[in-house]
Structure 1
Amino acid sequence: MPRNHEKDMQFREDKKKHILKSALPLFVANGPQATTISEIAKAAGMSKGLIYNYFESKEELYSILAADILGISEKDAHDLLHVTEGTPWDRLCKVAKDVVIRRVSKLAGDEGIGMQFNLAFSMQFLSFEQLPEPYKSNVNKAYDFNRHTIAQLIEQGQACGQLIEGPSYQLAIHYSSVVNGMFMENIRHEGLFDEIAVENALKLFLRQ
Structure 2
Amino acid sequence: MPRNHEKDVQLREERKKQILKSALPLFVDNGLQGTTISEIAKAAGMSKGLIYNYFESKIELYSILAADILGISEQDAHHLLYEREGTPWDRLCRLAKDVVIIQKSKLAGDAVEMQFNLAFSMQFLSFEQLPEPYKSDVDKAYSFRRQTIAKLIEQGQNAGQFIEGDPYRLSIHFASIVNGMFMENTRSEGLFDESNVEQALKLFLRQ
Q: Is the 8 A contact 2:123 2:183 kept in 1?
A: no
Matches within 5 A, 1:114-133: 114-126=114-126, 128-133=127-132
Q: Secondary structure at the match of 2:150?
A: helix
Indicate yes or no: 2:57 matched with 1:27.
Answer: no
Which stretches in structure 2 are left out of the alignment for 5+ residues?
A: none
C-alpha deviation, 1:117, in angstroms? 2.7
Q: Hey, what's the Cα distance between the residues in 2 that align with 1:102 and 1:158?
A: 29
Shift of 1:119: 3.1
Could you tell me how far apart the structure 2 residues matched to 1:119 and 1:191 are? Answer: 14
Alpha-carbon distance, 1:30 to partner = 0.9
Distance 1:110 1:146 in 2: 28
TM-score between the two structures when normalised by the length of structure 1: 0.91
Written as runs of structure 1 = structure 2, the 5 A alignment for 1:1-208 is 4-102=4-102, 111-112=110-111, 113-126=113-126, 128-208=127-207
**RMSD across aligned C-alpha pairs, in angstroms?**
2.0
Instruction: Give 1:123 shift.
Output: 2.4
| Corresponding letter in the other structure for 1:204 | L
User: Percent identical across equivalent pairs?
Assistant: 71
What's the TM-score once normalised by structure 2's chain length? Answer: 0.91
- Could you list the structure 1 runs, at least 4 aligned residues long, displaced by more than 4 angstroms after superposition: none
Instruction: Measure, in 1, the Cα distance between the counterparts of 2:188 and 2:167.
Output: 31
> What is the aligned residue count?
202
Deviations 1:119-164 (A, max 9, x none): 33222222x2221221111000000000000000000000111011
Partner of 1:35: helix, strand, or coil? coil
Q: CA deviation at 1:102?
A: 4.0
Tell which deviates more after alignment, 187-196 or 145-154.
Answer: 187-196
Q: Deviations over 1:140-198 (max 9, x none)?
A: 00000000000000000001110111111111011011111111121122112111221
Aligned to 1:177, what secondary structure does the other structure show?
A: helix
Distance, in Å, in 2 between the alignment partners of 1:68 and 1:61 is 11
Secondary structure of 1:161's counterpart equals: coil
